[in-house]
Structure 1
Amino acid sequence: MTILAPLPALFTLIVAAATIAPVPAQDWGDRMLDRTEVKFGSVARLADTTFKIKVTNRYQDPIQVTSLGVSCGCISWVDTAPFTLASKEVREITLRLDTVRFTGDRNVRATISLYEPAHGYTDSVTIPVSAHIRTDVEASPSHVGFGTIDLGKGYTQRIGINYVGGRGDWKIKSAKASSPHLTTEVVELRRSGGTANYEVRVAIDGNAPTGLLRDQLVLTTDEVGNNNVISIPIEAKIEADIVVTDVQFGTVSPGQAKSMNVIVRGKKPFKIAEVNHVTREVRLKPADDVVSSGVIPPVGTQKDAASVPATASLSDDAFKIKCPEAAAVVHMVPLTLTPPAESGLFDEEFVLKIDGRAQPVTFKAKGRISVNP
């Protein structure tokens, strides 16, 4: 008979009376989660406080998340169930703490119910959740939200922290974030009658990569005890302001020139200062040598170049590219290839330098050189 074969084994075998029956391994649902306990710590009132749990199907058969439950209205799931995870699929689910309607210490539970339909096995994971929602510290707005920002540019967001606990000398000693692309500054605005008002400025630099940046603004106060650290979410979505499409030459013949257009799009008019072909010899050098050559290689260049089988070696002379002179929102940059006599695949890197932009833009020209196209 066929038994569900997990990665690693989800089921153990029990042999009795010459019959083999699959039995669920203990706590197989727990093994799908990257954590089985949630500690929000001390949080400010009104802060939009969430916690993400990564769920991974480590088994060969699909697993259904049939329901998501909570034991208290002070927490809730952002996601909805049911949903199915294919083998090796990973998904994040988010638990939110209600800091508007609830205060004080919270020690509650969240549950995740699982079902393996191939054999009918079920499991339920109980996740202890703890938090301390302060009544004397409020955050406004509820989190440090940058929204969608452009790649290569720096931005600053501000959040107000208001203390109303009655201590005339209450202070925020420091503010930190773990990302190297984030810096913080604490500014005391006013203080009166046992209250204090602060503004915390969070800046994201122009070197942050594209994608979703999530972090925590960690405030440390001068209080004694476990409640002297306050966490507030930080979130930014970084998108490229300039996008270029790779060029696919297809199959080309030695000595026969072929021209293609490199399409470069921006959100507003921009000027291309220069275009450089990064030769394979440069790309295969160690990182320190590449930097000293003055050419900025894109991430993954060495691995990509080394993994291309039967690769033709193309020199700078094989390519001709005309750099546009005027600024535009969309550039059609003509790229002409005259293939050498060497046959094989080619996968060539190019670097566009944009006026007024620190980060370069890269693209590839790909294809195959064949004597019999």
Structure 2
Amino acid sequence: MSALPAEAQSPTLAAGSGPPWALKMLSETNHDFGAVARGAEVKAKIIINNPYEQPVRIGSVTPSCSCTTANMPPKTMLNTYESTELEISMDTRRFVRHKDAIVTIRFDAPQFAEVRIPVQMYVRTDVVLTPGSANFGAVDVGKGGTQTIDIAYAGNPDRKDWAIVEAKTSNPHLDVKVEETSRTGGGTVNVAVNYVLTATLKPTAPAGSFRGIIQLITNDATNPIVPVLAEARIEGDITVTPENVPLGTLVPGREKTVNVVIRGKKPFGISKIECESEDEAFLVRLPEGEKAVHVLPLTITPPEKAGPYQEVFTVTIPGRPEPVTFKATGRIAETN
């Protein structure tokens, strides 16, 4: 069996560049998608976290090539310990073989900085996915779901024995199987092989964003793995926004109020809100009656101890067996 072209072995990817203080905020400073099928959805999420006392603002995000998409994160002003996600994707439909690009993030506060993130992929021309991922969309918690993907292989006659030998995933909330549906060619005729991949999202998947990778293991010794993205948005009956409440920089003894929104698919009441710690720093007004949306003002009087600060809240809802939890994080400033 002949191998993919040598260029399918992508070159070593350079590290990201920029001021150390800015690079420190990124969960990764480059990303190699590797060898992927044509038509595949390829996405990466980079977490940007502000560990500093001063707020950080993202001014712009710019890819260097039309083969790459990188939109502005949903949150561009980050207070202390706040995070946001930068999603980067590459186009495997219009582009084939090796492609690389630079994604440039420009910060304009508390000072200007430019970070350059190299990304690359190799798009195989012999394997095509339709559709490009197992996208379950919005799924109610506890329901699960099933998606199928058609996989088409087209190779030279000397690849007549090309096969997918296994489909697997390390995600415990996903079951996968693959079946060959047709095979033609060989001898002097190009080979055409078709498979169907079935991905099943288990009811055990927890509420929130779901993302996993399915690996199609082939008998191609040079490039044995074809990755397939699986995504879903698991929606619980109750959601908290934000799940991690940003408190920013706090001054001991100076009150600060932030709002938390708790939504339900139907009206509900709240009987109790408890804090995990014994600081007694928070004052929470218990809402009255049943509503589909509750806005909770949280008022904190920060304690004297400087440094990182976190509180975990437990919300008891009548008739719901499990409580709802969320947390608040910030930093208490030093005082002279």
TM range (shorter): 0.5 to 0.7
1:113 aligns with 106
1:148 maps to 2:108: no
- Identity fraction in percent: 33
Which shows bigger deviation, 213-222 or 25-34?
25-34
1:335 aligns with none
CA distance in structure 1 between the partners assigned to 2:41 and 2:235 by the alignment: 23
Give the superposition deviation at 1:306.
7.3
> What is the aligned counterpart of 1:161 among 138, 141, 151?
151
SS at match of 1:362: coil
Kindly indicate whether structure 1 or structure 2 has the higher relative contact order, using CA contacts under 8 Å at least 6 residues apart: 2
Give the superposition deviation at 1:188.
0.7
Question: Structure 1 segments of 4 or more deviating over 4 A?
Answer: 264-267, 304-310, 347-352
Task: Indicate if the aligned counterparts of 1:39 and 1:129 stay in contact, CA closer than 8 A.
Answer: yes
Task: Indicate if the aligned counterparts of 1:66 and 1:115 stay in contact, CA closer than 8 A.
Answer: yes
Within-5 A mapping of 1:230-309: 230-240=226-236
2:175 aligns with 183
Give the superposition deviation at 1:65.
1.4
- Residue identity opposite 2:148 in structure 1: R
Count of residues paired in the alignment: 239
Task: Indicate if the aligned counterparts of 2:19 and 2:115 stay in contact, CA closer than 8 A.
Answer: no
Within-5 A mapping of 1:224-235: 224-225=221-222, 227-235=223-231
SS at match of 1:88: coil
Give the superposition deviation at 1:135.
0.8
Within-5 A mapping of 1:13-92: 26-79=19-72, 83-92=76-85
SS at match of 1:115: strand
Give the superposition deviation at 1:64.
1.8
State the Cα deviation string for residues 26-55 of structure 1 (Å, max 9, x = none).
521111101011010111111121111111
Unaligned stretches of 5+ in structure 1?
1-24, 245-263, 268-303, 311-329, 331-346, 353-359, 365-373
Task: Indicate if the aligned counterparts of 2:104 and 2:114 stay in contact, CA closer than 8 A.
Answer: yes
- Name which one, 1 or 2, has greater alpha-carbon Rg: 1
CA distance in structure 2 between the partners assigned to 1:348 and 1:54 by the alignment: 28
**Cα-Cα RMSD:** 3.2
Task: Indicate if the aligned counterparts of 1:102 and 1:133 stay in contact, CA closer than 8 A.
Answer: yes
Give the superposition deviation at 1:192.
0.9
The structure-2 alpha-carbon separation of the partners of 1:181 and 1:29, relative to structure 1 and needing over 3 Å to count, comes to same
Give the superposition deviation at 1:69.
1.9
TM-score, normalising length from structure 1? 0.57
The structure-2 alpha-carbon separation of the partners of 1:162 and 1:113, relative to structure 1 and needing over 3 Å to count, comes to same
Task: Indicate if the aligned counterparts of 2:38 and 2:129 stay in contact, CA closer than 8 A.
Answer: yes
> What is the aligned counterpart of 2:217 among 217, 220, 226?
220
1:170 maps to 2:170: no
Give the superposition deviation at 1:223.
0.7
TM-score, normalising length from structure 2? 0.63
- Residue identity opposite 2:41 in structure 1: D
The structure-2 alpha-carbon separation of the partners of 1:104 and 1:306, relative to structure 1 and needing over 3 Å to count, comes to closer
Within-5 A mapping of 1:130-145: 130-145=120-135
CA distance in structure 1 between the partners assigned to 2:81 and 2:75 by the alignment: 18
Give the superposition deviation at 1:178.
2.4
